[in-house]
Chains A and B, each alone.
Chain A
Amino acid sequence: RKEVEQDPGPFNVPEGATVAFNCTYSNSASQSFFWYRQDCRKEPKLLMSVYSSGNEDGRFTAQLNRASQYISLLIRDSKLSDSATYLCAVNRGGGFKTIFGAGTRLFVKA
Chain B
Amino acid sequence: NAGVTQTPKFQVLKTGQSMTLQCAQDMNHNSMYWYRQDPGMGLRLIYYSASEGTTDKGEVPNGYNVSRLNKREFSLRLESAAPSQTSVYFCASSGSQGNSPLHFGNGTRLTVT
Q: Which residues of A pack against B, CB within 8 Å?
A: 4, 8, 31-32, 34, 36, 42-46, 49, 87, 89, 91, 94-103
Q: Which of B31, B40, B106 contacts A96 (CB 8 A)?
A: B31
Interface residue from A4, A36, A44, A97 paired with B48 (Cβ < 8 Å): A97
Contacts of A34 in B (CB 8 A): 101
Considering the chains assembled together, what is the distance between the CA atoms of A42 and B94 in angstroms?
A: 19
Closest B residue to A35 by beta carbon equals B101
Q: Are A94 and B98 in contact (CB under 8 A)?
A: yes
Q: Mask for B90-113, Cβ within 8 A of A = 1, else 0? A: 100010001111111111000000
Chain B residues proximal to chain A, CB less than 8 Å: 31, 33, 35, 40-45, 48, 50, 56, 58-59, 90, 94, 98-107
**B45, closest chain A residue (CB):** A97
B52 smallest CB distance to A (angstroms): 14
A95–B56 Cα distance when bound, in Å, is 11
B43→A100 contact, CB < 8 A: yes
Which chain B residues border A94 with CB–CB below 8 Å?
98
Contact of A43 with B41 in the complex, beta carbons under 8 Å:
no
**Could you tell me if B48 and A46 are in contact, using CB atoms closer than 8 angstroms?**
no
B107 touches A43 (CB 8 A): yes
Most central of B40, B41, B98, B99 by chain A CB within 10 Å:
B99
Query: Contacts of B103 on A, CB cut-off 8 Å?
Result: 46
**Is there contact, CB below 8 Å, between B107 and A31?**
no
User: Of all chain A residues, which has the CB nearest B30?
Assistant: A96
Which residues on A sit within 8 Å (CB–CB) of B99? 31-32, 91
Closest chain A CB from B50 CB (angstroms): 5
